């Protein structure tokens, strides 16, 4: 590594890896030197266009000694093995979500990184999108008082065609699960970030509609410290609508809703503050059905850019024109990338660390384990117990319950 500069490669280039390539080319402290992908034609073509080296196997990249850090954006079952190889070779790693499919792999990566003094960043970029930083600020301000209950619901349709297009997403072996590890790991990361580490979970996962072997719907109760319980539901069997995230505390509640499935509507929060704390009102209100008053306010909202896009239908044109605007590093993949680069250069921490991502993997594994055991599962999770279940799932010795 030359002073203040990282030599960089992206492993897995045809899907979300494109974001990493773009960020690596545009970041002033990064020099993109190589691309790696098992698709020889694709990687050779793109490397030639960009004037960098190409490899079809990450071991060749490591042997060439061309880089200080890598992005890993391959299908799920490659993330941890490639991550471990890169760490063993002394590289900092930026790993796509879910980081690993099993807690045991996530722990191994973090332990190796810590032994070697290397940085791990993970691409849970939803944390940077509205309304989540606003919700985090409200929680951190203590405005809700002691948070007691939550409802967290996500729904977005995925037809069988989704699994036909990317067959690796359909299997336990290659994807490590369905909706939990794939779509909703972002929301589980948000929950852990907002509320702290979970202490226990009870859940049921099912396959209601899909031919794929993995789960397509989940219902769980996730317990956090101090008795906080979140009712959690997610499905890929319902069109995008009726998403709701609600947290209520002793002094107020906050609601993020997108009842009509409009992605931009979910940028707004409704914050309701009680006229007296619930713990006080429960003793002081005289009538048997008296309610504490709630003062409602809107926080955030649809940005003018969203409004114009929606009204004029110019999304495509504006996306195209945004290529020619200066790169912003404060949101999405660019923010994750920039935070990771600073950390690898010894100037800070990644936005989402390997240990934080390990917590989300642990929650996902815990939800699946609870469903098969039919009872509450406590954290920290017994990683070996999950590994045994996962082994049975990938061999077809255990199956997700199907309701037809
Ligand atoms: N952060 C996000 O919002 C986000 C969005 C989409 C995907 N992802 C994650 O990114 C990862 C990749 O997903 P995708 O949708 O881009 O998948 P994809 O199948 O579209 O692309 C994966 C790429 O990796 C290559 N590849 C496969 N095995 C490889 C190996 N052993 N070595 C090198 N390259 C290999 C494939 O040829 C392909 O180019 C997954 O972990 C996924 O969950 C994250």
Half-sphere exposure of 6 (CA within 13 A, CB side): 30
Whether 125 is in the pocket of ligand 1, judged by its Cβ within 6 Å, is yes
Indicate whether 234 and 99 sit together in one domain.
Answer: no
| DSSP helix/strand/coil, 239 | coil
Out of 268, 299, 322, a domain closes at 322
**Which residues constitute the domain of residue 245?**
128-322
Residue 264: pLDDT band (50, 70, 90) is: low
Q: Is residue 267 part of a domain?
A: yes
Share of the chain above pLDDT 90, in %: 88
Out of 300, 322, 344, a domain closes at 322
Q: Whose CA is nearest to atom 5 of ligand 1?
A: 16
Q: Is residue 279 part of a domain?
A: yes
For residues 258-262, average pLDDT: 75
Indicate whether 264 and 335 sit together in one domain.
Answer: no
Confidence at residue 300, expressed as pLDDT on a 0 to 100 scale: 86
Asked if pLDDT for residue 325 goes beyond 60, the answer is: no
Q: Is residue 377 part of a domain?
A: no
What is the tens place of the pLDDT at every residue in 379-396? Answer: 999 999 999 999 999 999
Indicate whether 183 and 285 sit together in one domain.
Answer: yes
CATH number of the domain at 30, please: 3.40.50.720
Asked if pLDDT for residue 251 goes beyond 50, the answer is: yes
Asked if pLDDT for residue 322 goes beyond 60, the answer is: no
Indicate whether 40 and 164 sit together in one domain.
Answer: no
Contacts of 231 (CB under 8 A, 6+ apart): 149, 150, 151, 152, 220, 221
Residue 63 DSSP class = H
> Residue 290 C-alpha to ligand 1 middle, in angstroms?
54
Confidence at residue 305, expressed as pLDDT on a 0 to 100 scale: 52
Between these two residues, 322 and 249, which has the higher pLDDT value?
Answer: 249
pTM of the full structure: 0.94
Which atom of ligand 1 is nearest the CA belonging to 124? 1
Q: Whose CA is nearest to atom 6 of ligand 1?
A: 16
Q: Is residue 192 part of a domain?
A: yes
How many domains does the chain divide into?
Answer: 2
Indicate whether 217 and 113 sit together in one domain.
Answer: no
CATH number of the domain at 310, please: 3.30.360.10
Least confident among 193-197, 206-210, 304-308? 304-308
Whether 12 is in the pocket of ligand 1, judged by its Cβ within 6 Å, is yes
Indicate whether 157 and 287 sit together in one domain.
Answer: yes
Average per-residue pLDDT in the chain?
93
Out of 272, 300, 322, a domain closes at 322
Q: Is residue 226 part of a domain?
A: yes
* Chain centre to alpha carbon of residue 97: 6
Q: Is residue 384 part of a domain?
A: no
> Residue 199 C-alpha to ligand 1 middle, in angstroms?
31
For residues 35-46, average pLDDT: 98
CA distance 183 to 178: 8
Indicate whether 33 and 149 sit together in one domain.
Answer: no
Out of 9, 75, 97, mutate this one to test ligand 1's pocket (max ligand atoms within 8 Å of CB): namely 75
What is the tens place of the pLDDT at every residue in 196-234? Answer: 999 999 999 999 999 999 999 999 999 999 999 999 999
Indicate whether 53 and 107 sit together in one domain.
Answer: yes
For residues 108-136, average pLDDT: 97
Between these two residues, 308 and 300, which has the higher pLDDT value?
Answer: 300
Indicate whether 158 and 211 sit together in one domain.
Answer: yes
Element spanning 184, H or E: none
Indicate whether 288 and 337 sit together in one domain.
Answer: no
Asked if pLDDT for residue 324 goes beyond 50, the answer is: no
Whether 36 is in the pocket of ligand 1, judged by its Cβ within 6 Å, is yes
Indicate whether 174 and 302 sit together in one domain.
Answer: yes
| DSSP helix/strand/coil, 358 | helix
Whether 11 is in the pocket of ligand 1, judged by its Cβ within 6 Å, is yes
Indicate whether 136 and 279 sit together in one domain.
Answer: yes
């Amino acid at each position: 590594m030359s002073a203040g500069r990282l030599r960089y490669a992206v492993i897995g280039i045809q899907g979300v890896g494109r974001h990493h390539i773009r960020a690596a080319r545009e970041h002033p402290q990064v020099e993109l030197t190589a691309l790696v992908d098992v698709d020889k034609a694709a990687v050779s073509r793109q490397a030639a266009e960009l004037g960098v080296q190409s490899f079809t196997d990450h071991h060749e990249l490591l042997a060439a000694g061309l880089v200080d850090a890598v992005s890993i954006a391959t299908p799920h079952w490659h993330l941890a093995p490639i991550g471990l190889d890169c760490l063993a070779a002394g590289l900092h790693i930026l790993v796509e979500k879910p980081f690993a499919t099993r807690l045991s792999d996530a722990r191994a990566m973090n332990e190796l990184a810590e032994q070697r003094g290397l940085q791990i960043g993970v691409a849970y970029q939803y944390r940077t999108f509205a309304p989540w930083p606003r919700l985090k600020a409200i929680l951190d301000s203590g405005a809700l008082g002691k948070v007691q209950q939550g409802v967290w619901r996500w729904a977005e349709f995925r037809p069988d065609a989704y699994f036909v297009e990317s067959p690796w997403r359909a299997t336990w072996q290659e994807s490590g699960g369905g909706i939990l590890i794939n779509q909703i790991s972002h929301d589980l990361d948000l929950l852990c970030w907002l509320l702290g580490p979970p202490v226990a979970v009870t859940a049921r996962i099912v396959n209601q509609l899909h031919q794929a072997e993995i789960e397509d719907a989940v219902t769980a109760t996730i317990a956090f410290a101090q008795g906080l319980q979140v009712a959690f539901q997610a499905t890929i069997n319902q069109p995008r609508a009726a998403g709701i995230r609600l947290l209520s505390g002793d002094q107020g509640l906050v609601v993020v809703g997108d009842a009509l499935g409009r992605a931009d509507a979910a940028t707004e929060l409704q914050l309701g503050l009680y006229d007296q704390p619930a713990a006080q009102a429960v003793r002081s209100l005289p009538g048997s059905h008296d309610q504490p008053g709630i003062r409602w306010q809107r926080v955030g909202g649809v940005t003018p850019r969203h409004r114009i896009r929606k009204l004029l239908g110019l999304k495509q044109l504006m996306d195209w024109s945004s290529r020619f605007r200066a790169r912003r590093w404060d949101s999405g993949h660019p923010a994750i990338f920039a935070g990771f680069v600073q950390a690898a250069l010894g100037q800070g921490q990644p936005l989402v660390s390997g240990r934080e991502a390990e917590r989300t993997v642990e929650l996902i594994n815990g939800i699946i384990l609870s469903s098969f055991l039919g009872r509450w599962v406590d954290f920290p999770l017994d990683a070996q117990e999950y590994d045994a279940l996962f082994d049975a799932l990938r061999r077809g010795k255990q199956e997700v319950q199907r309701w037809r």
